[in-house]
């Protein structure tokens, strides 16, 4: 039953990735049309139903003039992202590549996990942060990468660290990483395009239609510039939120289950999540990268959460494996914080 669900999840990830890629040009065309519509609308001195229709029609045909450029822009962006996404993610996360010689322990853990499934070895990178977190990235076998924080490597016992590595390896197996990388490219393009439109509006440029050339400069300036820029940027932000909703939070439950299957140690996965809870925030990491991590506690009052709660994940592992929720041994200066009060159970 789980195998069928996993196959459906992988196929869903591939479909969503293809859908996002195919939808880029159409989204940009819509944003450009909306941009020109409002620009034209604010430039028309007398407004009415017929004027609104005429402006909308003019904006549509003016947008068509840029359709070739939109597709060319998308093709260039996709090419850059395909070949340089690893460097872009590395720069955003502040991670550095490491070798087996530098960290033999984690390489040996990963190698054993990969051999058990007949998988090629991903690369490792480290973020110099005391936070406890990790994520996987990459679009194909050549650039699959597992990134760990220094804090998680130094803090977690070996069996828990192996469970975290297995969790990230499962994201690679399930093709979660491909969808997440594509979504980051998507959001980045929206942001870039919105800024480009703003610069066009501020510094000039025109189209073939009378609403978008010449005319009263004051009508196009001042408040209109500000309002149009806000509208375009707001649309970009809304789509970024919608993309996050499209990324099923089920992926974390499946990755936890995959880690348990690989390590045969559900207790280690639960203990790892308990230690990570409340210690996951990496300073200055962009939200788009944070959503790729094993835990992302950053959300707005519980809304727009990219991950299920640690409590739910631990309960699910416990129920799935019929294993009791473990207690963390107090081997630090203070007792580690649990995601909920186990003593009340």
For residue 28, being part of any structural domain is answered with: no
For residue 52, being part of any structural domain is answered with: no
For residue 51, being part of any structural domain is answered with: no
Average pLDDT over the chain, rounded to whole? 79
DSSP string, 111-170: HHHHHHHT-PPPEEEEE--SS--EEEE-SSTTT-EEEEEHHHHHHS-HHHHHHHHHHHHH
Give the pLDDT band (50/70/90) at residue 332. Answer: very low
Instruction: Dump pLDDT digits (tens) for 60-87.
Output: 888 898 889 888 988 888 888 888 888 8
* pLDDT > 90 in the chain, percent: 34
Q: In angstroms, how far is the first alpha carbon of the chain from the final one?
A: 31
For residue 119, being part of any structural domain is answered with: yes
Q: Which residues are catalytic?
A: 168
Sort 53 into a burial class: Cβ within 10 Å, 0-12 / 13-18 / 19+.
exposed
At 171 the three-state DSSP class reads: helix
Integer Cα distance of 334 and 321 in angstroms: 30
Query: Which DSSP category does 210 fall into?
Result: G
Q: What residues make up the domain containing 229?
A: 1-14+74-345
Give the pLDDT band (50/70/90) at residue 340. Answer: very low
Strands 145-149 and 123-127, sheet pairing: parallel
For residue 22, being part of any structural domain is answered with: no
For residue 38, being part of any structural domain is answered with: no
Instruction: Dump pLDDT digits (tens) for 17-53.
Output: 777 777 778 888 887 888 788 777 777 665 666 677 8
For residue 299, being part of any structural domain is answered with: yes
pTM score of the predicted model: 0.78
Give the pLDDT band (50/70/90) at residue 196. Answer: low
**Is the separation of the CB atoms in 110 and 165 below 8 Å?**
yes
Give the pLDDT band (50/70/90) at residue 141. Answer: confident
**Is the separation of the CB atoms in 94 and 128 below 8 Å?**
yes
- pLDDT at position 37 is 83
- pLDDT at position 18 is 78
- pLDDT at position 4 is 44
Distances (CA, A) of 191 to 20, 100, 185, 344: 15, 38, 10, 47
What is the number of alpha carbons within 13 Å of residue 27 lying toward its C-beta? 23
Nearest Cα to Cα of residue 176 among 104, 61, 257, 238: 257
Instruction: Dump pLDDT digits (tens) for 222-237.
Output: 556 666 666 766 776 6
Q: What is the average per-residue pLDDT within 146-165?
A: 95
Integer Cα distance of 295 and 135 in angstroms: 9
Domain count, the chain: 1
- pLDDT at position 221 is 52
Mean pLDDT lowest among 39-53, 118-132, 169-183, 205-219: 205-219
């Amino acid at each position: 039953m789980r195998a069928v669900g996993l196959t459906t999840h992988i196929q869903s990830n591939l479909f969503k990735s293809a859908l996002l890629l195919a939808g880029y040009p159409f989204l940009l065309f819509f944003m450009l049309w909306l941009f020109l519509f409002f620009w034209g609308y604010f430039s028309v001195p007398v407004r009415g139903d017929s004027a609104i229709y005429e402006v909308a029609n003019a904006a549509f045909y003016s947008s068509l003039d840029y359709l070739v450029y939109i597709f060319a822009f998308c093709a260039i962006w996709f090419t850059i992202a395909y070949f340089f996404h690893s460097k872009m993610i590395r720069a955003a996360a502040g991670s550095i590549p490491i070798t087996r010689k530098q960290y033999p322990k984690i390489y040996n853990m990963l190698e054993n996990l990969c051999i058990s499934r007949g998988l090629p070895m991903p690369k490792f990178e480290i973020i110099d942060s005391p936070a406890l977190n990790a994520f996987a990235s990459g679009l194909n076998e050549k650039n699959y990468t597992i990134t760990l924080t220094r804090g998680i490597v130094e803090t977690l016992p070996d069996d828990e660290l192996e469970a975290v590595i297995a969790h990230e390896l499962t994201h690679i197996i399930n093709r979660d990483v491909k969808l997440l990388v594509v979504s980051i490219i998507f959001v980045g393009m929206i942001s870039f395009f919105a800024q480009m439109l703003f610069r066009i509006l501020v510094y000039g440029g025109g189209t073939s239609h009378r609403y978008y050339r010449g005319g009263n400069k004051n009508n196009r300036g001042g408040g209109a510039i500000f309002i149009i820029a806000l509208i375009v940027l707001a649309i970009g932000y809304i789509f970024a939120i919608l993309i996050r909703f499209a990324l099923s939070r089920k992926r974390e439950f499946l990755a936890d289950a995959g880690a348990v299957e690989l390590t045969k140690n559900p207790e280690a996965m639960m203990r790892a999540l308990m230690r990570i809870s409340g210690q996951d925030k990496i300073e200055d990491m962009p939200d788009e990268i944070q959503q790729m991590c094993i835990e992302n506690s950053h959300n707005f009052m519980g809304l727009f959460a990219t991950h299920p709660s640690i409590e739910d994940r631990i309960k699910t592992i416990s129920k799935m494996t019929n294993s009791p929720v473990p207690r963390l041994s107090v081997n630090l200066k203070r007792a580690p914080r649990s995601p909920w009060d186990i003593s009340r159970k």
